[in-house]
A = this chain, B = another copy of it.
């Protein structure tokens, strides 16, 4: 698993530095959809001298090669997803946690639209309140 993403990383013409390995290890199999800061904080624990710039550089390198997805689902910050297989997401309006929805949905767009716009893919975001937040109560449902 880790070998795969690391092999792909190397084969794609990028150097496998210790910092990058740490980032890749944190991302591999991670379904928490972390932000750049999340990644920075976790990698920093085992690699205290790492720079924020390296995190951003690595994420950009991965994104450009299609090895991770950059999600715009959170209004506050970009979130990253090592799962590049087409799937959808739930986002909690209160705590902003993002959960995978590994289902295929049929979303047929009529030909007249397709004629005016080449559709390359789609992404469904479901928004609501997660279990944890519902337990904790409160009435603020977040923005939208």
Q: Which residues of B sit under 8 angstroms from A90, Cβ to Cβ?
A: 113, 117, 119
Q: Is the CB of B144 within 8 A of A118?
A: no
Most chain B CB neighbours (cut-off 10 Å) among A72, A99, A110, A143: A72
Q: Check B123 against A119 for contact (C-beta < 8 Å).
A: no
A interface size (C-beta, 8 A):
39
Give the oligomeric copy count: 2
Our pick among B70, B103, B125 for the contact of A125 (Cβ within 8 Å) is: B125
Taken together as a complex, chains A and B put the C-alpha atoms of A81 and B125 apart, in Å, by 17
CA distance A8 to B22 in the complex (A): 53
Q: Contacts A75-B78, A78-B75, A101-B113: A120 and B107 contacting too (C-beta < 8 A)?
A: no
**A16 in the interface, Cβ–Cβ < 8 Å?**
no
The answer to whether A129 and B117 touch (CB under 8 A), given A72-B73, A124-B123, is: yes
Known contacts A70-B144, A72-B74, A78-B75; A119/B113 CB under 8 A: no
Of A69, A90, A118, most buried by chain B (CB within 10 Å of CB) is A118
Smallest Cβ-Cβ distance to A97: which chain B residue:
B117
**A-to-B contact residues, CB < 8 Å:** 63, 69-70, 72-75, 78, 90, 92-93, 99, 101, 103, 105, 107, 109-110, 113, 116-131, 134, 141, 143-144
